[in-house]
Structure 1
Amino acid sequence: MAKFPTPDLKYTSDEQEIIEKLEAKYVKNGAPTPLENADDELIKDDIRYIVNKLSWKITCNSACEMDVDKTVHELLDFLSEFSWDAVVVLILAVFAMNHGELLLLRQSTGDNPIAKFLQKLKNPPSSLGSKEDLKLYVEEPLKNLVDQMLGVAEQLVLFKEQASTQKIELNSSVRKVFCIVAYRILQSVVKCISSTMEFVKSGDKYQDFPCKIQRIIRSCRFTAFGDYFKNSKFELEYNGILWTFEKANDVAILLLNIFSAKGNLIRQFDGINKPKNVNLENFQGNTVGFFITEFNVKEEDISVLKDTYNQDKKKGFEVLWIPVVDQSIEWKDELLDDREKVARKMPWWSLTSPLSGNNPVWWYIKQDWQFQRTSMLVVLDKYAKVIHTNALPMVNYWREEAYPFSIETEAKLWKEKSPTITKIIQKIKPLPEFKQGEIICIYGSRDMNWMHEFLCFINHLDVKDVEVKTTTVYVGANRRKQKLQKFETENSIFWSEDMMFRFWRDLENVAASKMIQSRENLEDAIKNEFATILSYDYKEEGTHAGRFLFVISDYMMHEN
């Protein structure tokens, strides 16, 4: 059974004393109530009896001016078999009866036979129904108290239901909050009913009522408890996601629990027609890739994944686009147009709205899958088990060869194909055939002056002394902001813009794939070689800023 941490809540000395007494006397840890499996009609009869009994006890004790806390403990003794959430619901039902009765007494009798009968029975002072300022002094303060109690009660009940559904165990700190909230609501109801009885009886003490209600609200700290439940609910939902991934054995059920249950329906675009609603059977029995991106997703990521998707869809591969919004950005409906523009470029399924920083799924993606604003592809097998936390670099480089996109498949590709810098270059454009005593220099830079000096140096080599033929290949720079002028000489090759782009793209993908495969081998030579080339392009200052030079001889590469 999953557990979750909860935010700290500092109690007053009075609250701490109440909790200690309640824990010593009552054992309520969220177990089912005796009524849970009873017949519906029996439940109705039992509830009628319980609510009437509670109402009568509060009325009698208030009429006898019994101490409020003593009355609360008597009520708890009567409700000792119920869990705290059930106690809260039942006592609010009692308050609703009392509050409704007060409103009927305030009505003009008119055609309402119930109000007419109740006023005859209670015979309230005439001032109770005649003074308009009763609305200000009585009804508005009561509404404020009702809103406060209902707000925290609703959060408590929903919290308990969600924990029960997800089979999450409530720890001791949560149970303490449950019992003190139940106690405070009981206390508030008893105090409020006692106060209303006073001015219903006399009709001239209602001016003190707002102050009494404010004291109740202030002492009960409903706002603090409400904030606690909001924060705890987020933790609960986050741990519920952990539990779902741990226990799910069907990818369709997992999607239903995490996304559709939250109203975030999944739709598919084909680039032309209107989106269509998803049937979760589309995912059942398939390998599913979660394509997680921000709105500014790279066109090449979509293009490559689209080709792979079209090739492997018939093998049982589905994709779901999960758009995310940075937590610093406030989600607005106007951004829906941006989402749909991106979604229409994709032939697979997508969420109808993006995940943002206040969504526990967003936090799961960030914390557990290490999403850092760069597009990623998390792959799940048909049993909803994650088989790769980011297969996108592997897909971008090996395409459909990488199916089913598991970490084991990636390891196999590295073992059989072992990409190197030379192989990446050869894949884009075969290098000139080597002759004895010949070398090829692969270089790149954003520094125009350095490029010119380097080529001049190569062209003025004394071949009689060196006895080496040198060919240079310029592969551009990954981060340059402008198109560079060509420096071509007799033995110089200047790649096209497309070829340069592919080189850096493949280099980044292979480097990322290798990083995943060799996380525990920090001295991996190939990984370090990739990192070295990529790091040159990120240097902004210094002697070697933005420059690199690699030499190939007999297809063996080493850094110069």
Structure 2
Amino acid sequence: MASNSMRTPAMNQVIPNEIWVSLESEDSTTMKAVRASHAPDGRKVDVKPMLRIIDNILLRAAPGIVEFHIILIHADKLSFMHGTYEDKGSLKDHIISRSDVDVKLKTLASIIKKVSSELFSYNNLVLSGTFKANSNVNQTIIPYGATMDCKCSCSGGRDVNATVMMILDTLSSYSWDAKVVLTVAAFIVNYGHEFLLFTSSEANNSALAQSIAFLKQLRDITDHAKFSKAKIDAIIELIKVIMAVTRYIVELHNLPLESIATDETPMSNAKAFIPKAAYWTMLSVVICASYIASLSGHEESTTELLDLARLGSEGSKILVILRSYKTIYKEYEDEKSKPAYWDLVKTVTSTHSDNVTILKTLLLVNDGKQHLVGHTNKRIHIEELREKNVFLLVSGLDLSKEEIDVLGKLYQEAKTKGEIQYEVVWIPVMETIAWDQEKQQKFEELLALMPWYAVPAPSKIKAEVIKYIKTEWKFERKMIFVPLDRQGKFGSLNAIDMYLIHGNKALSSIFSEKEESLWETQKTWTLELLLGGIDNNFSHVLDWTKQGTMVCLYGGDDIEWIREFTKATKDAVKNISSATRLELVYVGKKSAIKEVGNINTSIENENLSRIWSDLTSIWLFWTRLESMLYLKMQQCKNSRNDLIMQELTTLLSYDDSDRGWALFCKGSSEMALAKGDVALKSMEEFSEWRDAADQNGLFPALSSYIKKSQKKQHCSRIILSGDRQEIPSKKLSSDGCECSMEKCFVYRCCAD
């Protein structure tokens, strides 16, 4: 950071008055120069991954700043000046994993390095100049704006505004949001993260931070000495506002303002205001970097504190303006879509003789083209769907390969032998952000995996259609599968769950909204219900049970437990006097599908048991269980009286525990389920129930011992994918526990 020197009172400079004038006027010479420096070349930079990386750094150095600027975006009532906020909200989807940093970000490393050199050059110049007004001071710390002769090799005399303009010139070809995020990234990497690490509340307890600070002679920072604490606090408050303004610039820049007529004054003002907000952000970054670089070894300056406070105040004003523009845009969009939205609702809810009117209402995009596109670039006219049953598949661009594979197999099966023929149309629903080449590429990659058709231009889906899907169909993130029959009547909105459970057998019930009838013949917990209709892997298990073989399905992601359990089970079976055949089959873990592939390899290499090698089938196994539970929760008034719901809840709660589980099956309906520790203990203590096994058989003796060993479960949990808003708060109870589970929300960045 800096070398130690004393600062004289004569050197306590204020920010030049022309800078404050620039921030208050849209037509100042400085702002004209800022706008003139903007020469975008059309390149597209997705700054959101970069912003998440910055968040990731700040989260570890100063969590309060991340919390402030993220929640600020969603708050309804704010007090910017003191860094406080109402609407606590929750942090969600803002922490990234290493896998998110792809090669595209690496291409920005050189430009960040170049901006960093501009910041460093400015602050190095400030720190190594000689102040003319005091001949007794040879090497001292000069604030920005002071007159000096430079004795280093860099170009001399540059003030803070000149530095900002140089950075703007370096970033001239980038969009405004990219300019700001790249500048902030350079600042955080070179100044901010270290400063915040030393000044965070955890620094006093961190031997690492204390040691680094000692070596860099930054004792005044980590000790929070009286003469520097006020400035440290002021810098932290300013960084909070910098990050909040940065995020608003990104949010506002990515709104499709170009879709609004040019005579809409508020929106044209919004586009014109972004350069000013960007200038304030970059100016504040340069000033923050300068003050951080000069923190060590000088007296506190009152004028510096006033400058920092005034900068923060100007930033707060900018935040209010940016937020007002975002609110205006939302109101504009809402008002613009109201008549069209209610026309759409009227059309969709009216009676029709066929489905074409509704399909055109929902699928026609803003360019008016009446075709759909397939994976081979084949196009069909919407009219070709007339008098056909149609599933509307609604999702974002986060559909998994497993989801597409499962639905694709059922679709192809229906095409070849299904009694009810149907078509599928994919409607990709995006948030209100700019559609770029990256999203287009992702859309095309997913479409290439699909054997059906899609809306050809997701970015041009009408706003009222998006609003209807989110409002009436409750779409958020998890895919939905909405059936529309040939007469233009919508079927069950639970179609995806029914479809995954029963396959194409469910089609007649789905299109007639008679989902309860699918359960009338299935009132007991059986192996056919658990496994039926998925693929050949599962039919083998059913064949074994019909031949008298006892089957043990087991799961989890603890490979050590798997080794111990499979060995103990094999040893127990060997020691039974009567001839007994038992097959062990590993079925994975719901929340760790990717890891299951590695576990499968270990099990196969070590010959521990049989496996299901098809990860798509394993995904379907667990997803079907979730779907069964979801439908049962909607239908069941008392979960304690429903055996299927009890077993589903218990199995899913065991899977979400830290270790494994095992389900022993004899025939179709005799099953004994045990949590991992009980299953292992039961097998290791085989000598305790060996006599009973010899007399009565393996399954009765094992089942009895498990029930005796199984303690009441005092704490269970089930993590369901997506937010099932229709699920009541208290509805579930697992086997062996007298308490009901409470519904809560778990936010995480990925499923694995």
Give the structure-2-normalised TM-score: 0.39
Q: AA paired with 2:650?
A: T
Of the three residues 643, 656, 665, the one matched with 1:552 is 665
Distance 1:285 1:149, change over 3 A: closer
Contact 1:287 1:381 in 2 (8 A): yes
Distance 1:264 1:228 in 2: 25
Contact 2:556 2:655 in 1 (8 A): yes
Query: Deviations along 1:389-446, whole A, 9 cap, x unmatched?
Result: 142343345433233433645433333356845114464323534799x854321121
Q: AA paired with 2:337?
A: F
- Name the SS for the 1:392 alignment partner: helix
Listed as ranges, the matches of 1:253-268 within 5 Å are: 253-260=357-364, 262-263=366-367, 265-268=369-372
Q: Does 1:300 align with 2:414?
A: no
Contact 1:507 1:530 in 2 (8 A): no
What's the counterpart of residue 17 of structure 2?
none
Distance 1:318 1:353 in 2: 19
Distance 2:474 2:330 in 1: 28
What's the counterpart of residue 290 of structure 1?
392
Q: Shift of the alpha carbon at 1:289?
A: 0.9
Of the three residues 345, 369, 378, the one matched with 1:275 is 378
What's the counterpart of residue 455 of structure 1?
566
Q: Shift of the alpha carbon at 1:552?
A: 1.8
Q: Shift of the alpha carbon at 1:493?
A: 4.1
Contact 2:497 2:631 in 1 (8 A): no
Contact 1:265 1:351 in 2 (8 A): no
Listed as ranges, the matches of 1:39-118 within 5 Å are: none
What's the counterpart of residue 233 of structure 1?
336
Listed as ranges, the matches of 1:184-199 within 5 Å are: none
Contact 1:290 1:379 in 2 (8 A): yes
Query: Deviations along 1:298-356, whole A, 9 cap, x unmatched?
Result: 331442243145247995523211112245x5422553333233334434332122269
Q: Does 1:486 align with 2:583?
A: no
Distance 1:464 1:518, change over 3 A: same
Q: Shift of the alpha carbon at 1:494?
A: 1.0
Q: AA paired with 2:384?
A: N
- Name the SS for the 1:497 alignment partner: coil
Comparing 283-292 and 454-463, the one that deviates more: 454-463
Distance 1:450 1:470, change over 3 A: farther
Contact 2:364 2:461 in 1 (8 A): no
Query: Deviations along 1:212-256, whole A, 9 cap, x unmatched?
Result: xxxxxxxxxxx9999755432334444443333222524211122
Q: Does 1:534 align with 2:652?
A: yes
- Name the SS for the 2:634 alignment partner: coil
Contact 1:264 1:353 in 2 (8 A): no
What's the counterpart of residue 502 of structure 1?
617
Q: AA paired with 1:486?
A: I
Distance 1:238 1:516, change over 3 A: farther
Listed as ranges, the matches of 1:86-235 within 5 Å are: 151=264, 228-235=331-338
Distance 1:283 1:313, change over 3 A: farther
Distance 2:520 2:551 in 1: 27
Distance 1:419 1:505 in 2: 21
What's the counterpart of residue 346 of structure 2?
243
Query: Deviations along 1:33-70, whole A, 9 cap, x unmatched?
Result: xxxxxxxxxxxxxxxxxxxxxxxxxxxxxxxxxxxxxx
RMSD of aligned residue pairs (Cα, Å): 4.3
Distance 2:484 2:501 in 1: 20
Q: AA paired with 2:544?
A: P
What's the counterpart of residue 338 of structure 1?
442
Distance 1:260 1:537 in 2: 44
Q: Shift of the alpha carbon at 1:270?
A: 4.9
Contact 2:654 2:661 in 1 (8 A): yes
What's the counterpart of residue 125 of structure 1?
none
Q: AA paired with 1:366?
A: K
Distance 1:394 1:372 in 2: 19
Number of aligned positions between the proteins: 337
Q: Does 1:365 align with 2:478?
A: no
Distance 1:487 1:335, change over 3 A: closer
Distance 1:234 1:463, change over 3 A: same
Q: AA paired with 1:557?
A: M
Of the three residues 486, 489, 496, the one matched with 1:392 is 496
Distance 1:332 1:483 in 2: 35
Distance 2:488 2:423 in 1: 13
Query: Deviations along 1:169-228, whole A, 9 cap, x unmatched?
Result: xxxxxxxxxxxxxxxxxxxxxxxxxxxxxxxxxxxxxxxxxxxxxxxxxxxxxx999975
What's the counterpart of residue 446 of structure 1?
557
Distance 1:468 1:425, change over 3 A: farther
Q: Shift of the alpha carbon at 1:504?
A: 4.4
Q: Shift of the alpha carbon at 1:284?
A: 2.4
Distance 1:240 1:442, change over 3 A: same
Q: Does 1:325 align with 2:430?
A: yes
Distance 1:403 1:387 in 2: 10
Contact 1:319 1:348 in 2 (8 A): yes
Distance 1:291 1:230, change over 3 A: closer
Identity fraction in percent: 18
Q: AA paired with 2:672?
A: H
